[in-house]
Structure 1
Amino acid sequence: MRERYKVKSKTIICGLAVCLCILITLQNTAKGKSYKRFFKLLTEEQDTTLRKKGGKKPPADTSTVNKTDTINKTDTTRKKVDSLGNPIDSLHASDTVKQKIDTINMSKDSLDAPVNYSAEDSGVLVLTKKQFYLYGKATTDYKDMKLEAANINFDQPTNIIKAYGGTDTAKGALNLPKFTQGGSTSISDSIIFNMKSQRGLVKNTYYQEGDMFVKADVLKKVDKNVEFGFRTRFTTCNLDTPHFAFRTRKVKIINDKIAVSGPAFPEFEGVPMPVAIPFGIFPLSRGRHSGLLPPQFASSEDFGLGLEGLGYYKVINDNLDVITRGNIYSYGGWSLNVNPKYYKRYKYTGALNFSIQHTKLLNRSGLSKDEFTTSQNFFITWSHSMDSRARPGTSFSASVNAGSTQYNKYVTNNPMRNFQNQLSSSITYGKTWDQGKYVLSVSANHNQNNNTRLVTLNLPTVNFTANTIYPFQKKEQVGTPKWYEKLGVAYNGNLLTQASFYDSLFNFQKILDTTQWGAQHNIPISLTLPAFGPFIVSPSISYGERWYGQQIRLKWNDKTNKNDTTISRGFYTARETSFGLSANTRIFGTYNFPKSKGIMAIRHEVKPFISANYKPDLVHQYFYDVQIDTAKNTRRASVFDGGVMGSYSEGQFGGFNFGIDNLLEMKVHDKSDTTAKATKKVKLIDGLGVTGGYNFFADSLKWSPIALSLRSTLFNTVNITAGANIDPYGVDSFGRRVDKLLWKDGKIGRFTNGNIAISTSFKSKSKDDKDKSGGTGIPVDQTLTPDEQMRQLEYVRQNPAEFVDFNIPWNVQMSFALNFSRILAADYKNFVTNTTANISLNGDFSLTPKWKIGGNTYFDFKTAKIQTLTMFITREMHCWQMAINVTPIGPYKSFNISINPKSGILRDLKINRSRFFYNQ
C-alpha cells in the first residue's frame, strides 16, 4: 500500500496537477542529480533519463519505451547543456528568460475517446501500474457504454474494466453492476469487460434486449453485437419471478436481430412443462423487418376447418411495405388480402387493401339441391392523405370503400362488417388561390347499397367557389365605410356526371346509356346595412341557373296501363331568381331566485327572425300534367324530373318566412368550489325552434308546413335531438293536400314525420386518474389519419376484449332512436304510420380487479327482437391476456377464445379457438 495515494474523488484532479508541477520543478532545478522516471497518467512509461557529465547516453530500455514515444525526440522539458553535458545557466546565457512549453501526445495504446467517471466515496490511482479504482456508487461513461456498480477497477495497459456489487448491513446485494449499451441493459453479480475489443464475461446476469428479458448464469460477450449465454431463461415478463419463461442450456444472441437457442423447455410460474421444443428462435429486431405471419386455427360448420391469417410481411423500402394474408378452409373456400402501405414524411401517407373472396358455404338449410353455396367477391379500400406542407394551397385525399355487394355477408367473425350495408367512396383534389378567395374541388364519388345492390357513380364532380367580393370597397379604408361598400357578390358552381347500375346486371353499354350530366350556377348578392336599433336588416338577391343533358317525358299508355318514358338528349337550361329582405334580433330575459340555495337565476334568450321573399315563376313552361292511373287522375311533372340536378319548383312565391329559436340556461351555486360566491352555468335547452312561411301569390295551400326542432345537452352527459313537421292542411282519399286548414277544426295540424334521438354515456372514475383514450376507450394516436383511425376503431369493435381498460371499473354507453312518418297506404285511400325504434347498449364492468365482462346489443322495437348481441370476458394476467368473444344471437353467430402474451415480440405465440356459424 506504500505506492497508493488515497485522496477524495473531488480533489483528485487538483492533487494530480500539484504532483506534476512538483516533479517538473525538481527536474528543472536539480543540478548534477540523477533524474527519476516520470509517468504520465494512464499512458506508457517514458524515458526521461539524462546523460551524466562526460558520460555517454545510456541504452534505451526496450521494455519500457515504445518506438513511437509520446514525448518528442527533442525533450523541451530539459535544460540546455554544453558540449560536456553540463547545464547552461539561462542567466549567463541571456538576460531574457525563454519559457519552454511541454507538449504531450497520446500513445497508440490509449483509448480513442474520453472516459467520464464519478464515485460517491473515493477514487484511487496507482501510478506505477496505471490502474484506477472507484469506490461507492461508481459510474463510468465511454462512447455509448455506461457502467454503474459499487466498485469499478480499470487497468489501463490491458483496457480491462471490472465491476462488482457491494453488500449492506444485512449482507444483501447492493449496487449490482449495471451495464447499458445502446438499447440493451444488463444487471449482474460481476462484470469483466475489455473496453477496446468489447469482449467480456458476465456472471449471474439479468439482461434486457427490447421487450425480451434474459436471465443467464454466465454470459460471454465476444464482440459488440454477439453474446453467448449458458443456462438461460427467456421471457417477456418483467417480474423477478416471471409468470412464464423458456429455459435453455445454450443460446446465441445477436443484438437487435435474433436469439437462437437449442432445445427449450417452457415453464409457468416456475413449473417446467414436460414438453420441449427442438430449438427456439426469438426475434429481437426493432422497427420494420420482413417475415412470415403465422396463422390461427378456425373451425366452422359452414366453412369447415381452416387456417386464418397466414401471410407474409415484406419491407420494400423505407417508404413502402406490403402485408399479404390469406384464409383457407377444408370445404374449398379461400380468401386473399394484399395490403400495401406507403408513407413519405412531409409529403403523403396512405394504405391500399385489395381482397379476393372465394366462398364455398355448406348448404345446411336444405332449401337448395346443391350441397354448397358458391360465391366470388372482391373488395377494395384505399386511404390517402396529403401533407398540407407538401404543396401549400393544393390538397389530394382519397377514401375508397367499394366492392361486391355480397362481400360483407361472408366475412367471418365480424358482426359489425356483416351488418354494414351502405358503402361510399370519395377521391378529391382541391386547389385554392389568392389566400382562399377562390376554391376548386374535383372529386369522384361512389355510393353503394348492399340490400338493393344499386351502385351510383359520380365521375366527376367539379365545384368552384368564389368567396364574397366587395367591388365598391376601397383598398385603403379611410373613416367610416359607406353603406354601398358592404355590397358583396359571390359565385358557386358545380358540374356533375352520374351513372347508376345494379351490380347483378352490370353492363358497360347500359352504364353509358344511363349516364347523365348536369351543371348548376348560383350568384348570391348580399348587402349588410347598419343596425336599426336592435334589428339587423339584410337585403339579398340570388340568381341560379341549371344546365341539363336530357329531358324526360311521361305519357300514359292505355294498352299497358302505365306510363311510357321518352328521353330526349341535348343541351337544356332552366333559371331562377329571388329577392329577399330579412331582419333578426335577440331578446334576453332573466329571472332571479335571491333566496334559493341552489338555483340563482334562469336566463332565457329568444332569437326571432322574419324575411320577405319574392320569386317569379320562370320554369312554368317545363311542367305538364301526366295521367297516373286508369281513373285518369293526374299530377304535375317536370321534364327535368329524374335529372341529376333536379328541377326548380313551379309557381311564383311572394310572401314571408318566419322563425324563432330559444336558448334556456340557469345559474347555480357551484358546490365543488369552496368559494361562497362560486357559480356555474347549466344549459337546459340549446335550441328550441319553430319555422314556417306564407305565400301571398299561391292560389291555394298558402301556408307552408311548420317545422319544429329541439337540441339539448342535459347535465353535460345526455344528448337530445328531436324534430317534427306539421302540415296545416288536410288530404283527400288519394293522399293529396287539399285547401282546408285543420286548425279551423280545432286541430293543431297533421304530423307528417318526426324523430327523436337520445344518447348518453357514464363511466366510473379511473383508479389512477389517467385516461389515455380521451374518453373513448381507445388509445389516441395523433399521427394516424382519419381513415386509419376508423380502421383502428373497426378492429376494436371486432375485438373489444383486447382493448378494455382495467383502470376504469365500469362504463356504459346508450343510445335510443325513434322515427315515424305518415305515408299513404297501398290502397291509396288511407294513411298509415310507419314507425321505427331501436335501442343500443354498450359497456363493460369489472367483476374483480383482474376480470372484466362486457358487450353490446341492438334491440329493434318494430320486430321486438334482439338483432345482434356480442359479449366478451377478459382476464388480466400481467404479461398475458385471455379474451373470450361470443356472438350468440343474430344471423352471424361466432365464438372465439384466445390466450396470448401482451408483448409485440411474442404476439403470434397464442392459443386460439374460433367457431363461426352462418344462418342462410
Structure 2
Amino acid sequence: MVNRCKVRTKYLLWACIGFLFLFAFLSPAKSFPHSPYYFINNNADSIPASWASKLIYKNASNALTLSNKPPLDLSIYSKDSLAFIVDYKAKDSTVLMVPQNQFYLHNEAEIKNPDADISANTIEFNKNTNIVKFYGNKDTSNAISGRPTILQNGSKSILDSGYYNIKSQKGILKNTYYNEGEIYVQAAIAKKIDSNSIFVKDARFTTCNLDPPHFDLHAFKMKMISGKLAVSGPAIPEFEGVPMPIVIPFGIYPLTRGRHSGLLPAVFQQDNIKGLGLTGLGYYKVINDYWDVTTRVDLYSYGGYTINVNPDYYKRYAYRGNLNVSYQFTKTLNSYGNVAQEYTKNKTIHIGWSHSMDSKAHPGESFSASVNAGSTLYNSLQTLNPYQSFNNQLNSSITFSKNWDNGKYNLSMQANHSQNSVNHSINIQFPTINFSTATINPFQKKELVGKPKWYENIGISYNGTFQNQLSFYDTAKNSIKSLLDTMQWGAQHQIPITLTLPAVGPLLFSPSVSYSENWISRKLISHWDSTLAKVDTTIEKGFFTARQMSFGIAMNTRIFGTMNFKHGNIRAIHHEIRPTISLNYTPNMASSYFKTLQVDTTGRKQRVSEYSYPGSVGGFSETTFGGINFGIDNILQMKVLNKKDTTGDPDKETKKVSLIDGLSINSGYNLVADSLNWSPVSFSLRSSLFNNKLNFNANMTLDQYETDAYGTRINKLLWSQGKLGRITNGTISMSTSFSSKKTDQKTDQQRVASDPDPNMPPDQQLQQLNYVRDHASDFVDFNIPWNIQASYAMGFSKVINPDYSGFHNVYNSSLNLNGDFSLSPKWKAGGSIYFDVIHHQVGMMTLFLTRDMHCWQMAINVSPIGRFKSFSIVLNPKSGILRDLRINRSRSFY
C-alpha cells in the first residue's frame, strides 16, 4: 500500500482522533482494543467495505477528511511540520504509535522524499527527534537480508544499519558500500554532516565494481562532497587484498558530473635522444556550452618541450569541429662521436583542423575542413609513434559548396594543400572554384504530352574550373616575391552535349559532342642548349588558350548465358558479357603549340608541348583521332549446393558464389593516323574469392609496338614477330583476413548498439579510428581468439628519363602483415610488419602484449625495427577518473 501525506505531528494526532470518532460513529458494533498504538494491515481485504466509497482529500484549510462531505475546519498546519511530501510503503505492515509520535515500516519498506530515497527491511521514524533509523534483518545464520539502501543526489549507499536526521541531514552509516558514478567506497563508519558532505573513517576507495575489488586505496580518513570531489589523507594501495609498500600522502578524486575544468596529470617518459620526459601535463578549460580547450605541455631534461593547444567545439544541428596547434622545440642528443655539436635543435609546428557542418543548419550549403599541415620534420620526430613518424605525406582540404534550384546549379570553392617530407615540396592550391550545371534539355516542352520527340532528349551542360597554385620548397629561403613568382593559374571549360535515343532491341546508342577550352597563365618553353649539350627550359608568362572538340556515338548492351547441371555440387554457371563500342573523332587543334625539339647529342628529335608546365591545367594532345574504341567486361558466377540448408526451401537450396567480379579488356584503332594506329591494350581483373576472404586486383597495359634504343615507340607491330606486345606498366594486389569464431553469440549489430556513443559524428569517428590504429594494443578485442590480415602489392612501370634520353623501369613490391591472438581469455598478443620485397628488408615492425584485468589494463608495445626503436609498458585503470593514475615506462632509440 502506498500513502502520500504531509507529516505534521500536531494534526496527525488530531486526524487519528477524528478517524476513531468517525469510525465509531459509522460502525457502532465494532470497537478498537485498548492499546497504546494502532495496527494497520496493508492487506486490502481487511479494509471495511464501507470505506471504499469514501474520499481522502484536503479542503482549503488543509485539514484531512475521510468523508465525501465538506470536512470540519480543524485549523492550519503547525509550524514544526515537514515542508515536503513523503511517499512510503511496506510489504508487511505499517505501525503508527500516536502518543510516542513514532512510525514503523516492516518488510521491504521504502520512503521517498525530494531529498533522498531510503529502502530497508525495517524503517523507524521518530517525529520528536526527526530521526529515521533503518536496518536489515539478520537470520539464524547471521546473514543480513534487506540491507538499507540510500539514493541521494545521484549517489547510492548500501549499508548494514544507520540513522538519519531528515531536518539537519546529519547521520551515521555503518559498514557502508558507497557508489557515485565510477567511484566505489567501502567504509567502516560514514558520518553525514549535511546533504552533500560525508566524513569517512577506514575507507577503501576503488573503481572496481566487484566485491571484493581487485584493487583499492586504503585511506584512514576521507571527505566526500557529492557531485564535486573526494579528498583523502594518507592511503596505501592494495591489490587483491595485499597492501603495497607505498604510501600516497594525499588524494584528490573528482566527482563532478558532466564537463568541468581541471588539471591534467603528467606521465613520465624516457627517450635516449630527448632525455627524461614529463609528458601530458596540462589543463582542461570549459569555456561555454559549445567550446572547451585542452592545453598540454611535454618537458624533456635535455631542454626540449612541446606545447599542444586543442580547442574543441560542438553545437547540435549546426557544426562540430576541433583544432590542434602544436609547437615543438626538440633538443636531441647526437649519438655519433664525429659530429661537431653535442645536440641538434629543431623548431617545428603542426596544425590540424577538422570541421563539419550539419546538413540541417543551412540546406543546400555545406562547409567542411580537414587540415593536416606543418613542418617537414614534425612527424619524423614523433619517436613513440611509428605510424606517424613514417608518414611522409601531408594533405589538407577546405571546401565550401552551394547548390540552387534543387541541384541544377552547383558551386564549390576549395583550398588544398599537399606536402612531401622526402623532397620537401609544398603545393598549395587556393582558390579552386568549380561551377557546374545539371543537364538542361532546351527543346523539351514544359508540359509533356504524348510520346516525346527524339530531339527533345538533347541535353547540354557546363562544367568550369578555375585553380591557382603556389609551389615551393620549405628548405629554400622563400620571400613573398619568390612565392608570388611560383604562382600560376589556369581554367578549364567543358560543354558536353548528349542525346539519349530509344533502345533498338537490346542495343543502347548514345551520341555525344564535347567542347573543351583551357586558359593558361604560363608556358614552359624548351630548347636545346648546344653549349651545355642538354635540354634547357624558360618560362613565358601571359594569357594563353587551348581548345579541343570531340564527336562520338557509343553503343552498349548486355549478353547473358547460363549453363545448368543436374548432378554434382555445381548446379549452374552464369556468365554476363558487357560489350561497348564507340566511334569517335577528335581533330588536331593543338598543333600550333607543339614543336620538334632536339633532346640529345645524337640529334634525335622529339615532339614536345609548350603547354606542359607542371601543375597547370595543361594543353591537349596533337594527335588526330578518328576511329573505334572498344571494350568488353565479363562477370562470372556459379550456383552451388548449400550444404548447411536443412529447410528444404528451393530458394535456399543453392547459394551464389562469385568467381570473377570483373574482367575487362579495352583498346582502340585510329583510322586517320598514318602510323601507330593501335592504342595500347589495357587489362583489368578483380575478384573476391572464398566468401570475400581473398580480394584480388590486377591491372596491366600492353603496347603492341616496338621501341627504339631510347624507348620511343616506332611503327612496327610486335605481332609480326609472334609476340602479343610488351608490358609498359602493371600492378597486382591481394588482401585477405582470417579470424576465429567469436566466443559469445552477439551479432555485430548488437555490439554497435552497445556502444556508449552511437551518435558520434563522422569526423570524431575518424579521429577515434586513427587513435585506435596508433594505439592498437589498448583496443584489442578479447572476444575473438585470433585474427590475421595480410596484403601484398607489386607494381611495375616505365618512366621517361628527365633528359628525354629514354625510359627506365621502376619496381615496387611490399608485404603487410598484422594480427593478434589470445594466449588466454585475458592475455592478447599481436603486431604488424611491413616488408619491402624489392630491397629484402623490414621497413617497420610493431609488437604488443596486453592483459585485461577487469578494472585495469596492461599494454606492452615494442618497435624493434625501424628508424625509431621504442618500447613502452603501461599499466592503468580503465576508469576515466583514474585513467591518468598510470604506471608508465617508455623508451625510444634513434
The reply to whether TM is greater than 0.5 is yes
Q: Describe how 1:342-361 pairs up with structure 2 within 5 A.
A: 342-361=313-332
1:711 equivalent to 2:647? Answer no
Give a deviation string over 1:62-106, Cα, whole Å, max 9, x none.
xxxxxxxx998999999xxxxxxxxxxxxxxxxxxx974556765
CA distance in 1, matches of 2:754, 2:536: 56
- What's the C-alpha RMSD, in Å, of the aligned pairs? 3.2
CA contact (8 A) 1:774 1:780 kept: no
Partner of 1:331: 302
1:550 equivalent to 2:526? Answer no
Partner of 1:400: 371
C-alpha distance 746-828 of structure 1, shift in aligned 2 (>3 A): farther
1:767 equivalent to 2:767? Answer no
How far is 1:40 from its partner?
A: 14
Partner of 1:541: 513
Q: Report the more deviating stretch, 559-568 or 331-340.
A: 559-568
Q: Describe how 1:163-182 pairs up with structure 2 within 5 A.
A: 163-168=134-139, 170-182=141-153
Q: Which ranges in structure 1 are unaligned for 5 or more consecutive residues?
A: 1-7, 31-38, 43-69, 79-97
Secondary structure of 1:791's aligned partner: helix
Q: Describe how 1:330-479 pairs up with structure 2 within 5 A.
A: 330-479=301-450
CA contact (8 A) 2:368 2:400 kept: yes
Determine which of 664, 670, 675 is the counterpart of 1:700: 675
CA distance in 1, matches of 2:789, 2:586: 48
Q: Report the more deviating stretch, 638-647 or 147-156.
A: 147-156
C-alpha distance 650-280 of structure 1, shift in aligned 2 (>3 A): same
Determine which of 546, 566, 571 is the counterpart of 1:574: 546
Secondary structure of 2:438's aligned partner: strand
Q: Describe how 1:74-89 pairs up with structure 2 within 5 A.
A: none
Q: Report the more deviating stretch, 720-729 or 145-154.
A: 145-154
Determine which of 574, 584, 591 is the counterpart of 2:556: 584
Determine which of 689, 703, 725 is the counterpart of 2:664: 689
C-alpha distance 71-861 of structure 1, shift in aligned 2 (>3 A): closer
Q: Describe how 1:779-798 pairs up with structure 2 within 5 A.
A: 782-798=758-774
How far is 1:152 from its partner?
A: 2.4
CA contact (8 A) 2:153 2:226 kept: no
The one-letter code matched in structure 2 to 1:815 is: S
1:632 equivalent to 2:630? Answer no
CA distance in 2, matches of 1:337, 1:11: 57
How far is 1:288 from its partner?
A: 2.1
CA distance in 1, matches of 2:78, 2:38: 11
1:212 equivalent to 2:188? Answer no
Partner of 2:44: none
CA contact (8 A) 2:670 2:677 kept: yes
What TM-score, normalized to structure 2? 0.90
C-alpha distance 243-74 of structure 1, shift in aligned 2 (>3 A): closer
1:667 equivalent to 2:667? Answer no
Q: Report the more deviating stretch, 517-526 or 269-278.
A: 269-278
Secondary structure of 2:874's aligned partner: strand
Determine which of 731, 745, 749 is the counterpart of 1:755: 731
Secondary structure of 2:723's aligned partner: coil
C-alpha distance 751-157 of structure 1, shift in aligned 2 (>3 A): same
Partner of 1:804: 780
Determine which of 583, 591, 602 is the counterpart of 1:620: 591
CA contact (8 A) 1:28 1:77 kept: no
C-alpha distance 500-9 of structure 1, shift in aligned 2 (>3 A): closer
Give a deviation string over 1:763-796, Cα, whole Å, max 9, x none.
2222223366999999795444444333323322
Q: Describe how 1:299-338 pairs up with structure 2 within 5 A.
A: 299-338=270-309
Partner of 1:651: 623
Give a deviation string over 1:239-288, Cα, whole Å, max 9, x none.
11112211222211001111112222222221223332222222222222
Q: Which ranges in structure 2 are unaligned for 5 or more consecutive residues?
A: 6-13, 29-36, 41-57
How far is 1:339 from its partner?
A: 1.3
How far is 1:496 from its partner?
A: 0.3
Q: Report the more deviating stretch, 548-557 or 523-532.
A: 548-557
CA distance in 2, matches of 1:231, 1:263: 11
How far is 1:695 from its partner?
A: 1.0
CA contact (8 A) 1:733 1:829 kept: no
C-alpha distance 249-76 of structure 1, shift in aligned 2 (>3 A): closer
CA distance in 1, matches of 2:892, 2:541: 52
Determine which of 855, 875, 878 is the counterpart of 1:902: 878
Secondary structure of 1:365's aligned partner: coil
C-alpha distance 149-741 of structure 1, shift in aligned 2 (>3 A): same
1:269 equivalent to 2:240? Answer yes
What TM-score, normalized to structure 1? 0.87
Secondary structure of 1:621's aligned partner: helix
C-alpha distance 614-593 of structure 1, shift in aligned 2 (>3 A): same
CA contact (8 A) 1:733 1:828 kept: no
CA contact (8 A) 2:419 2:427 kept: yes
Partner of 2:45: none
Secondary structure of 2:219's aligned partner: strand
CA distance in 2, matches of 1:148, 1:634: 98
CA distance in 2, matches of 1:827, 1:29: 121
Q: Describe how 1:827-846 pairs up with structure 2 within 5 A.
A: 833-846=809-822
How far is 1:698 from its partner?
A: 1.1
CA contact (8 A) 1:41 1:130 kept: no
Q: Report the more deviating stretch, 828-837 or 599-608.
A: 828-837
How far is 1:132 from its partner?
A: 3.6
How far is 1:184 from its partner?
A: 0.8
CA contact (8 A) 1:9 1:123 kept: no
C-alpha distance 792-74 of structure 1, shift in aligned 2 (>3 A): closer
CA distance in 2, matches of 1:549, 1:380: 31
C-alpha distance 227-868 of structure 1, shift in aligned 2 (>3 A): same
CA distance in 2, matches of 1:840, 1:331: 37
Give a deviation string over 1:544-597, Cα, whole Å, max 9, x none.
11111123322222122233433332222111111111111111111112112x
Q: Report the more deviating stretch, 183-192 or 481-490.
A: 481-490
C-alpha distance 561-106 of structure 1, shift in aligned 2 (>3 A): farther
CA contact (8 A) 2:39 2:95 kept: no
The one-letter code matched in structure 2 to 1:521 is: H
CA distance in 1, matches of 2:589, 2:601: 32
Secondary structure of 2:445's aligned partner: coil
The one-letter code matched in structure 2 to 1:269 is: E
C-alpha distance 22-371 of structure 1, shift in aligned 2 (>3 A): closer
1:522 equivalent to 2:498? Answer no
Secondary structure of 1:485's aligned partner: helix
Q: How many residues align?
A: 854
Task: Give % identity.
Answer: 52
Determine which of 193, 211, 233 is the counterpart of 1:240: 211
C-alpha distance 115-621 of structure 1, shift in aligned 2 (>3 A): same
Secondary structure of 2:376's aligned partner: coil
C-alpha distance 483-914 of structure 1, shift in aligned 2 (>3 A): same
